[in-house]
Amino acid sequence: MKLRWKITNGMLLILIGLLHVQLALSPDGAGQQFQQMAETFFFKVSKGLDELPIVAGKTNSEIFAAFWFFYFGLLLIPLGLLVHSIEKEGRTLPHYFTIAYLIAVLIGCYMIPNSGMTFIMLPHAIYMLVGNCVKSRKTRAK
């Protein structure tokens, strides 16, 4: 019996999402901030308008960062499942999706240049766009 694994862009998105969630929950990542959110049953992540305007010491930026890191990971998992199901059927991803994904990643790279967005997601977005263009050309040529 021969097992063949084909790593798809969807599987990579799922992996990135799972790594985000794992890092948000781990003690070496944002575990302490996640524990603070859990104490309020994730109902009150911030003090709302009481934290505006943003003043040093008044806004808990670490909690915000931990929340968005966790939330972004959760959003990537179903997106990866959708992309994987499209690729598994042998279809090409919509070109506007790959362009939109690249633009979102480029904005993230600009906002947080020394992060996984730049070192992991940017090469993946470029790989996805180029691979999808090549695949669509092959499909059109047939």
- So what's the pLDDT on residue 13? 94
- So what's the pLDDT on residue 52? 61
The candidate with the shortest Cα–Cα distance to 121, out of 107, 132, 105, 98, is 105
- So what's the pLDDT on residue 35? 80
Contacts of 135 (CB under 8 A, 6+ apart): 92
- So what's the pLDDT on residue 139? 77
Burial of 96 (0-12, 13-18, 19+ CB in 10 A): exposed
- Dihedral-angle region of residue 53 (phi above 0 means left; psi in -120 to 50 means alpha; beta otherwise): beta
Domain segments of the chain as ranges: 7-87, 92-142
Q: Read out DSSP for 74-108?
A: HHHHHHHHHHHHHHHTTPPPPHHHHHHHHHHHHHH
CA 42, CA 35: separation in Å to the nearest integer? 9
Provide the residue-wise pLDDT of the chain in tens; the chain has 142 residues: 455 567 889 999 999 999 999 988 888 887 788 787 777 776 666 666 666 666 556 666 677 778 888 889 999 999 999 999 999 998 899 999 999 999 999 999 999 889 888 999 999 999 999 999 998 888 777 6
Instruction: Please state the pTM of the whole predicted model.
Output: 0.79
